[in-house]
Amino acid sequence: MKKTGLWLVMALFLSCSPQPGTPPYDLVISRVNLIDGTGSPLRAGVSIGVRDGRIAVIQKGELTARKTIDGSGKFLIPGLFDGHVHTTDYRADFPRFVHYGVTSVFITGGSRCSNDLYAAMREMGDQDSIPAPRVFHTSQHFTLEGRHPVKTYPSPNWVDGETVFFLKDTSQIEVLVDQVAAYPIAGIKLTIEDGPAPPIVERMPQVFINKIVREAARHGLPVFAHASDNTEFLMAVRGGVRHLVHYVGIDLDWEDPEHLAAVDTIKAREGSWVTTLVLDKSFLYPLHPEWLASAGLNELYPVEALKAMLTPERVAQAREIEQFWRSEYGFEVVTPENIFAFQVDDVKKLYERGINMVLGTDVGNDFIFPGYSIHEEMAILAQGGMAPPDIIKMATLNGARMVEADSLLGSIEVGKMADLVLLKANPLDDIGNTQTIQTVIKNGVVQR
């Protein structure tokens, strides 16, 4: 090697190495109780060293850094991941997510989700000066005209070919999949049903589902399906779908061999299933104004402004949904407990069966609150008997795994990005303690 080449190599080595007398880490969280998101037991009194946005070391003992946060008596978890999000005002919503510890979101389409808007959201998520979560997203909705979500949430922002794709025949599908595959998407969003209410038109034909999945596979893309009853769940599985973005509306029969076989097929495909149970809670909010006075919620959402949303029309709509649930499920009285009991029981069984269950909220209506509602989702699961370590894993590592980013995100391990939430109280004792946030860190930079 020429001397000039040798000196260049040495200079590069020295520039990348900690220099004598300088702290070797950009940030250290010292003497903290670590809950790493993998489901492993708590590690007490460890120090976490962060360099260049990544976790460089986890060990007992003191570390030297440019900035040190004393974690004594505190609890460190990975940044939270909301696995089902819509937003019409991301500049307002993104700082709210981070305030509540959500450092990554998965956006599954929406009425404003053009390619330009997706790019703007990714750009905001990639910087650290303004609090914003990392952004992953699907394609725009693949659906049929007059179906969900356009029928359910009418808006002039739904523009065929820009924010939604209306399928008229299967011959379109190959071209449309080729088109969206050119963008940095995590997969294709497929809407099978006509809406969250009982269908009044036919569901998406099975042949459409089958072809979308086949064409997506040519590009190595998974399909993320929206299904809201058992029939649509089975249609999705028969069509080759890997991921399901809702559980609400589905009520698995654990004695039915076809249901069990379908669940095992999702597991074999290494598929994921997003919870979104708080969606049902959002429908009940107008009947429970006391929920709007939660101290955690009111940190960013003033109670008087929230109560102003309780119009007579919204209360009447909530009464209609309540009546529907009475007739659909045979409830004499509709309460959060009886609405969620069978759903959480199913989520527990799916988790125990090896399905990659992911926490998601379906942020997008007025009573699902960006950031705060992921804590509501965790509380619903805990009240139904799920263990806090499992809930935390569903809210962190499992979301990263769904979007194939778990080699970099989702848990506190050496080499991964330093997306961290420092808590004042132990969430393993009470999952509600995930709201006792002291510090939020994304990419090694303090955000809150």
Cβ proximity of 12 and 386 under 8 Å: no
* Cis amide prior to 199 (ω within 30 degrees): no
Residue 224 maps to a domain: yes
Residue 373 maps to a domain: yes
List Cα–Cα distances, 308 to 292, 314, 315, 439, in angstroms.
11, 11, 12, 31
Cβ proximity of 305 and 298 under 8 Å: no
Residue 313 maps to a domain: yes
Predicted pLDDT at 196: 67
Domain hosting 85: range is 79-410
> How many angstroms separate the CA atoms of 46 and 34, rounded?
7
Predicted pLDDT at 6: 35
- Token pair listed for 225: 């399906």
Residue 257 maps to a domain: yes
Predicted pLDDT at 438: 98
Residue 327 maps to a domain: yes
Predicted pLDDT at 197: 63
The full length of the chain comes to 448
Helix axis angle, 206-218 to 230-238, nearest 10°: 40
Q: For residue 80, which phi and psi values (nearest 5 degrees)?
A: -75, 155
b/e sequence 33-54, b meaning 16+ C-beta within 10 Å? bbbbbeeeeeeeebbbbbbebb
Residue 434 maps to a domain: no
Predicted pLDDT at 198: 61
Residue 358 maps to a domain: yes
Residue 385 maps to a domain: yes
Cβ proximity of 287 and 319 under 8 Å: yes
State the total domains in the chain.
1
Q: Domain of 90: which CATH number?
A: 3.20.20.140
| pTM of the model as a whole | 0.93
- Per-residue confidence in pLDDT tens, the chain, 448 aa: 333 333 333 333 344 444 444 579 999 999 999 999 999 999 999 999 999 999 999 999 999 999 999 999 999 999 999 999 999 999 999 999 999 999 999 999 999 999 999 999 999 999 999 999 999 999 999 999 988 888 888 899 999 999 999 999 999 999 999 999 999 999 999 999 877 666 667 899 999 999 999 999 999 999 999 999 999 999 999 999 999 999 998 999 999 999 999 999 999 999 999 999 999 999 999 999 999 999 999 999 999 999 999 999 999 999 999 998 898 888 888 888 888 999 999 999 999 999 999 999 999 999 999 999 999 999 999 999 999 999 999 999 999 999 999 999 999 999 999 999 999 999 999 999 999 999 999 999 999 9
